Structure 1
Amino acid sequence: MKKLKNALLLFFLVFTIYPTIAQQAQDSLSTTTIDTVLPVTVIDTIPKTNDTIPKTSEKIDLTKKNYILGGITVVGNETISEQSILIFSGLVNGQAIKIPGDKLSSAIKKLWNSKLFSNVDVYATKMDGNTIYLEIAVRELSKVGKVEIKGIKKSKIEELSKELEFQPGSMLTENLITTTKNQIADKYKEKGFLKTKVTISTKPDTSAVNTENALILIDKGEKIKIKEITFHDNSMLSDNKLKKAMKKTKEKKIQNIFKSSKYIDDVYEEDLLKVVEKYQENGFRDAIIVKDSLSFNDDNTINLDITVSEGQRYKFGEITFLGNTVFTDQQLQNILKIQPGVTYNGKFLNERVKGDGTPESQDITNTYLDNGYLFSRVDLVETGADDNVIDIEVRIVEDEPATINKVTVVGNDVTNDHVLYREIYTRPGDLFSRSDIIRSIRELGQLGYIDPENIVPDVQPNYTDKTTDIEYSVAEKGSSQVELQGGYGGGAFVGTLALSFNNFSIKNLFNIDEYKPVPRGDGQSISLRLQASRFSRTYSVSFSEPWWGGKRPKGFNFSVYSSSQYAFDFQSRDVDKDQRLDIIGATIGLSQRLKWPDDFFTLSTSLNFQRFVLNDFFLSTFGYNNGTSNNINFTANLGRNSAGPSPIYPRYGSQFNVIAEVTPPYSSFNDKEYINLPDEEKFEWLEYYKINFMGRWFTQIYKDLILMSNAEFGFLGAYNQDIGVSPFERFYVGGDGMATGQFDGRQVIALRGYPNSSLTSFAGGTVYNKISFELRYAITLKPSASIYALTFLEGGNSFDSFKEFKPFELKRSAGAGIRVFMPAFGLLGIDFGYGFDDIPGTDEISGWQTHFIIGQQF
């Protein structure tokens, strides 16, 4: 009987409790979504949380769906206030809430997305009719306290610390630790430390709540170089040719002493593409890298093994043009420059059709863009490859030409709009032209107060009406220079005050409100200079306006100066101001941009006057101590300047000038017997003619690696052989090219590797020539400072007469240097040059010379 009672009790419990349990299980399964007050979610990035609901022992009925939120409490928070957590959640007392529903799931997601917590749970703590009370239980993430880095030099720790996101106060997450490890490892792998290991350990900071101090230990290992690069299955192109194609992945060998042999994965992948490109340039269109592998050697070097599949060599077959109506087949063929039968070169084909990425690229696509066809499209299609001969179709969709609707400039806070607009070649109503955009960038960059590296054109096409807007974004840079210095030398104090303002505004000279600190914005230049000492004083002022009248590019400039040099007794060290050389001078000039032969040409003319007055003052160039000499000359300069985009660091184009300077032939107007006259009468009115040629060409070798080629020639002649060549305006070759303390109008020509003026006779040369090659590499081209390094080869010489002129008898030199241009100080530099030839008058070669370069931009 007792057993029967127990069985009936068990049966009763099963049938009464099981439906309740089953229903709860079913409810539990039906509520495992983000719409529940249970802190569970389907979002993978959010950890699953406890599903403890209700929290109290009281029975809470959650069969209803709509509730009023009666109250929210927060537990588990240590450093983050309850109010902040409630603000993060977005929940407020009194709001209607559905369980399950979007508002609660959204609150949970917001708390997770704040990245402040490692766990979030939500509990129902009380029910009062339709009113529900919730509790948010959180566990805060630890914060990073002190961060210590070990394993690298102290000088590198500060630099690395600034780069990392692992900073004191950051939330300490596994993702932060992993990201930091990878970032450090990748940084050192790029420097050749392929086996870099990074460990990060943390421990609680007993002095701060919920904070852990971290130790980052870096084991760089040894720098690993590439010992050998081996190619497999290549028969048509040699190993050496393929290795040369890899521009930055080099073996550790003597011939690569100036190139890095470290392994960088991303660079290596790029160089593998260059290997394939090299094959395609030689007709192997189907060439591929089959596989590549890396193996370590015992001496901390690696070997790279690269297996290629060369495929067959192809030739160009028939090339046809489809869809072209603007240009004839022959015109497009002249641009393409590919004839049937030549070895297939995929790179060259693409460059002739799509462009090579340079501003001067001459290709089919850019030819259409230069003629307004902004919406044109040019595609290459291979139509056949029988017998290793590839037929090409150049398919062209010309569409309609686009006109320019609107042109705007942004970013100029100082420079007035009209100053920039007048330099822009894209005008509303004109046909779109890519070349005009490139030219506009160059002209803006040549101004001197616009950063040429940060001129960004934004072309905004409107296909519907076949128009486009163009917006030029510019960044202004400092262009004014202030020089205030004093020094003691030669027994005297020398003081200098010089002010040079580029982008000046003369019209606001008397407008006090525009002095910030001086009136600016109209593109004019003005400079003032005062220098004084016991021995001399000099005053000068100059002004230039590049757009005289404001409508056309006609420049106007003038300058006046006055200088006095006093006699100095080297024994008594006294200065006698009664013995002096006084010089006054003035220049007025006009310039005009030309439209023929093209609009890169400029014609500049100037009228110049100098008056030299000697009062018992000895100067070897003059040949007399008392008297007056006058120099009135007219100068014409025909120049062409297409170099750009920056005047400080041109990457392309050229500059050349042909300069003629002439004085009136005074001796032809009188009957004086000049051959017997003393120098003070013979040179009372200077007469001569002078011709200069200077040319520079800039060639982009690779990105910021630029080759500058330079050629110069100068000749000074006389009208009257009885007078002879003027002792003024002569050529002095050698040294840094800086003329200081000279008053005879001499032209100083730099030739590094030799002392200043050492390649010219005491009286000065009447003929000179010079050639030079300079390989430049830009280190930084920021507005605050442009810095580039250079190496050079050059040769030059001067001669006393044209009869002695031997153009190939050059004094040669080579060396290296660096240039720094800062707007406030101008151009600064230093060169180390080695002269290979002897200095005239000595039997020893010049050898190593150091030259300091100081120049100013006005």
Structure 2
Amino acid sequence: MKIVFLAFAFFMGLSVYADKIKEINYDGLYHISRDVAMRMVDLDVGDELDAKKVDDAIKKYFQQGYFQDIYVTNMDGNVTFHFKEKPIISKVELKGYKDDDKDFLNDVVMIKRGVLYDEKKIEAAKNRIIESLNHDGKIDSVVEVEKTIQENGSMHIKFVINEGEKIIIQKIKYSGLKRFKSSDFDDTVANKEHQFMGWFWGRNSGELKIQDLQYDPFRIRDYYMQYGYLDAKVDAPFVRVNFDHYTGEMSYQIAEGDVYRISGIDVDQTKQVIDDAKLLAVVKLKKNEPFNIKTFREDSDRIKTIVADLGYAFVNVVPDLQKDKKNHTVNVVFKVIPGEKVRIRNVIISGNTRTLDRIIRRELYLGPGDMYSLTDLKDSRNAIGRLGYFESNTIEEKRIDERTMDLIVKVKETPTGNIQLGGGYGSYGGLLLSVAVSDRNIWGSGINVGVKLEKSQMTHNYSFSISNPRLNDSDYSGNFSIYQSATDYTDYSVESNGVSVGVGHRFTRHVSGYLGYNYSQNTYSNVDLNATSTYGSYYFESYSKSSAVVSMSFDNTDDYYLPREGMIASQSIEKSGIGGDADFYKFLTKFSKYNGLKDYVGFDAIFRYKARFNYAVDSGYLPIAEKFYMGGIGSVRGYQSYSLSPTVLDNGEVRRVGANETFSNNAEISFPLVPKAKMRLVTFLDWGFIGDNSLSEISRGGYGVGMEWFSPVGPIQLMFANPLNQQSGDKVSHFEFTMGQRF
């Protein structure tokens, strides 16, 4: 460009300095209109042709960023600006690394189709790719750019990436250790020594994480401060790399210092907004014990929450550690800076293309005009997550001024409905056709509707259900369902018809109650009495059931399908005998606890514990079909569903007759498998007990792995299990799957 300017200035100075401009033309100009181009320069028809003004005009045009080359010609006062525009990028490709990764293209390369080619932006993209490779611990990476001009003049950009080698840390030395061993830091630092079979889960690969080198010393010092070493010093690590073998050694120099014990704990409020004693009551640090920085941070968060719940949204809790180096004691002061009370000006909902605004707003505990509360904000976020309508949700706090803020609720919807069409053929049941339609959030209304139609030569099942968790946006819920099923077996036929209706009420944010009524008619026909004994006849007695159900539940989890925190507990009692033949009590107890492990293991792992206890009391007539059975997903995996039960020998045939009580519990750990595909891996251990008079009558367990997948048609679980404590006659199952259930 500079050469063009100088040549043009020289030419103009010698040849056309005194010419007058008769006409100004533009050749090859597309991105800027002629009128805009004219207004950008200090040239007009009738003016003397001035070399400096032409030179300035070229500079202004170049500054627009659209042009690769500009030159000017003059024919007797007819001045023409000739433009060669930069080519448009029609394709961006990665080769050798992240080949088909659209997120990497968008977030790191940041060169998109349709933009003008710019050498500086291409160079910046190369640097970002190399920086990303360095973050992955890959040294000596090379990125080359292949540029191809297409027939239409557009540009095809290909980043050819040659990944460097990863440095493997063979040895880490810690100098100055007295209180701790080097292995104590393994769970703290990101860079660890290579271990044998380091590729295996739970082992250290030893790969150097360059981006963490600057943070590891702070992590080690933080570890010391959890044990009271407030004067601990950790120098930056020294890394020696052998580039012949791409191995390395690291060394840290540490000065531990002495342990500081707490001499006192105080609260200093810059503006008194609450009694100091109420803040000190939530502090877990103890006088005369060693200082612990982790506990201090947790105490600070608890204090911040209490003050923020009073409306002080912008409160800060600043540490003031007053050390006595001579006596090695520390006076801990929580300095609280409340700021001003904040009210909510507006609540803005975004991202809900299907779900109605009011369905989301009714779950919020903060609205326009309300005083800010941090607890209300967190509970609102969790309440939206428990709906199960959204893949994710966030509530952003937009500060307007010192006294007002807006809340911006951002949701990303997930499929809540599915249509299943199925069919098959079996030697016993013949041709089977099934249609199932369900939606937990039909038309975005929050109403759950399900219809199922299934028909074969030997069976048919029809059902319809509808429920509304918030009748008229109130704290009341309602449900109704009806079903009919019939199956023809070799020795008998059975038909069941039932209906249920109920109403619930949410008493608090996490506690709900329910009262319902169930009626079913269960009829056996075509019973071959020659194939059944006296006990078998009892087994096939038709009966009707009319029962009332009352239940209470607690749920403070943060998501419906995949909770990472909170627990669910429920207790229900069913009394049958309000008319009908059956007369019994059933007590069902459920408990689930969820804990995210990311803070402990560094990735999105989740621990779950689930327990169920069922107990039935015969108060007149407890049909065998109403007793309890165990096995399968929901109790003990590794055994066929409902296959575990007390049995009797009936006419030479072993029959399951159900139990009066069961207890099962499950421990699970869920790991991310393919995050982009929303797939997770789960490992589990189940154990259950079942019996008529004692839970010790039958005891079985199971273990295995499974896959949890948020598929386009809903959440799916695929479970692969092996039985534990298997006994002769047990019916095992090594594979099961469910669809639509929460994990």
Q: Normalised by the size of structure 2, how large is the TM-score? A: 0.84
Counterpart of 2:526 in structure 1 is: 616
Distance 1:57 1:397 in 2: 69
2:374 corresponds to: 434
How far, CA to CA, are the matches of 2:483 and 2:515 in structure 1? 19
Quote the residue 1:257 is aligned against. 200
The answer as to 2:474 corresponding to 1:552 is yes
Count of paired positions: 714
| More displaced stretch, 376-385 vs 138-147 | 138-147
Q: 1:700 & 1:313 partners in 2: Cα distance? A: 32
Superposition pairs of residues 342-361 of structure 1, within 5 angstroms: 342-353=289-300, 355=301
Contact 1:230–1:305 (CA under 8 A) maintained in structure 2: yes
Alpha-carbon separation, structure 2, partners of 1:264 and 1:221: 14
Cα distance in 1 between the residues matched to 2:359 and 2:169: 54
- Tell me what 1:633 maps to: 547
In structure 2, the residue matched to 1:692 is 588
Q: Cα 1:290–1:587, aligned 2, differ >3 Å: closer, same or farther?
A: same
Q: 1:840 to 1:631 in 2, by over 3 A?
A: farther
Asked whether 1:307 is paired with 2:291, we answer: no
CA pair 82-479 structure 1, distance change in 2 beyond 3 A: closer
- For residues 745-769 of structure 1, give each alpha carbon's deviation from its aligned partner in whole angstroms, at most 9, with x where no partner exists: xxxx431233444432321222211
Contact 1:758 1:839 in 2 (8 A): no
SS of alignment partner, residue 653 of structure 1:
strand
Secondary structure of 1:659's aligned partner: strand
Identity, in percent, stands at: 20
Aligned residue among 574, 583, 604 for 1:661:
574
| 1:656 Cα offset (Å) | 0.8
Instruction: Give the superposition deviation at 1:263.
Output: 2.1
On the 8 A contact 2:493/2:524 being kept in 1, the answer is: yes
Q: Does 1:719 align with 2:619?
A: yes
- How much has 1:48 moved relative to structure 2? 9.2
Residue in 2 aligned with 1:410? 350
Q: Match of 1:850?
A: 735
CA 147–794 in structure 1, closer or farther in 2 if over 3 Å, else same: closer
Q: 2:434 aligns to what? A: 496
Name the CA distance, whole Å, in 2 between partners of 1:97 and 1:230.
Answer: 78
**TM-score (structure 1 length as normaliser):** 0.73
Q: 1:604 to 1:622 in 2, by over 3 A?
A: farther
> Where does 1:356-395 land on structure 2 (aligned, <5 Å)?
363-387=302-326, 388-395=328-335
Deviation string, structure 1 residues 411-450 (Cα, Å, up to 9, x no partner) = 4343333333222111344322111111112222222323
**Does the 8 Å CA contact 1:370/1:434 hold for their aligned counterparts?**
yes
Identify the residue that residue 743 of structure 1 maps to in structure 2.
none
**Residue 44 (structure 2) pairs with residue 94 (structure 1):** yes
The Cα of 1:459 is off from its aligned counterpart by: 4.1
Distance 1:780 1:558, change over 3 A: farther
Deviation at 1:797, TM superposition (A): 2.2
Query: 1:517 matched to which residue of 2?
Result: none
1:575-625 Cα deviation digits (max 9, x unpaired): xxxx63222111011111113xxx311111211011012221469897359
Selected match of 1:730 from 627, 641, 657: 627
Residue 602, structure 1, aligned to residue 542, structure 2: no
Q: How far, CA to CA, are the matches of 1:524 and 1:234 in structure 2?
A: 62
Structure 2 Cα separation of the partners of residues 376 and 161 of structure 1: 36
Q: Does 1:473 align with 2:410?
A: yes
The correspondence of residues 523-562 of structure 1 with structure 2, limited to 5 A, is 523-548=446-471, 550=472, 552-562=474-484
Match of residue 703 from structure 2: 814
Distance in 2 (CA, whole Å) between partners of 1:461 and 1:212 is 45
Say whether residues 1:482 and 2:419 are aligned partners.
Answer: yes
- Aligned runs of 1:640-651 on 2, under 5 Å? 640-644=554-558, 646-651=559-564
Label 1:533 to 1:161 Cα distance change in 2 as closer, same or farther (>3 A): closer
Q: Shift of the alpha carbon at 1:713?
A: 1.1
Q: Which shows bigger deviation, 187-196 or 211-220?
A: 211-220
1: CA distance, partners of 2:576 / 2:278: 50
Separation (CA, whole Å) in 1 of partners of 2:432 and 2:624: 29
CA pair 769-214 structure 1, distance change in 2 beyond 3 A = closer
Offset from partner CA, 1:182-224 (integer Å, 9 cap, x none): 444445445554343344466x87x869888887654435554
Q: Which amino acid aligns with 2:355?
A: T
Amino acid corresponding to residue 482 of structure 1 in structure 2: I
The alpha carbon displacement at 1:264 in A equals 2.5
Return closer, same or farther for 1:142/1:728 CA change in 2, 3 Å cut-off: closer
Pick from 423, 448, 458 the counterpart of residue 388 of structure 2.
448
Q: CA RMSD in A?
A: 4.0
Distance change >3 Å, CA 625–CA 769, structure 1 → 2? closer
CA apart distance, 1:477: 3.3
Maintained 8 Å contact 1:605/1:634: yes
Shift of 1:641: 0.6
Give the letter for the 1:690 counterpart: K
CA deviation profile, 1:232-258 (whole Å, cap 9, x unmatched): 333333211122211464523357831
* Per-residue deviation, 1:308: 3.1
- SS of 1:718's equivalent? strand
Q: Structure 1's 622 and 195: CA in aligned 2 closer, same or farther, altered over 3 A?
A: farther
Q: Counterpart in 2 of 1:674?
A: none
Structure 1 contact 322–394 (Cα < 8 Å) conserved: yes
The answer on 1:795 being equivalent to 2:687 is yes
Q: How far apart in 2 are the matches of 1:255 and 1:810? A: 38
Q: What residue in structure 1 maps to residue 493 of structure 2?
A: 580
- Cα deviation for residue 303 of structure 1 reads 2.2
1:148-227 counterparts in 2 under 5 A?
152=96, 157-159=99-101, 163=105, 164=109, 174-175=119-120, 178-200=123-145, 218-220=161-163, 222-227=165-170
**Cα drift, residue 709 of structure 1:** 1.3
Q: Which residue of 1 aligns with 2:235?
A: 290
Cα 1:194/1:89, change in 2 over 3 Å: farther
Contact between 2:548 and 2:578, CA under 8 Å: does it hold in 1?
no
- Change in 2 beyond 3 A, CA 1:794/1:325: same
Residue 629 (structure 1) shift? 0.9
Corresponding position of 2:649? none
Q: Equivalents in 2 of 1:436, 1:214: separation in Å?
A: 50
Residues of 1 paired with 2:31 and 2:524: CA distance? 91
Q: Relative to structure 2, which stretch is displaced further, 51-60 or 688-697?
A: 51-60
- What CA distance in whole angstroms lies between the structure 1 residues aligned with 2:407 and 2:359? 17
Residues 270 and 814 (structure 1), Cα distance of their counterparts in 2 relative to 1, 3 Å cut: farther
What's the secondary structure of 1:560's corresponding residue? Answer: strand
Does 2:717 correspond to 1:829? Answer: yes
Q: Which segment is superposed worse, 586-595 or 276-285? A: 276-285
Q: Unpaired runs of 5+ in structure 1? A: 1-38, 41-46, 356-362, 505-519, 570-578, 667-683, 738-748
Instruction: State whether structure 2 residue 116 is matched by structure 1 residue 231.
Output: no
Q: Which amino acid aligns with 2:396?
A: P
Whether the 8 Å CA contact 2:503–2:516 is kept in 1: the answer is: yes
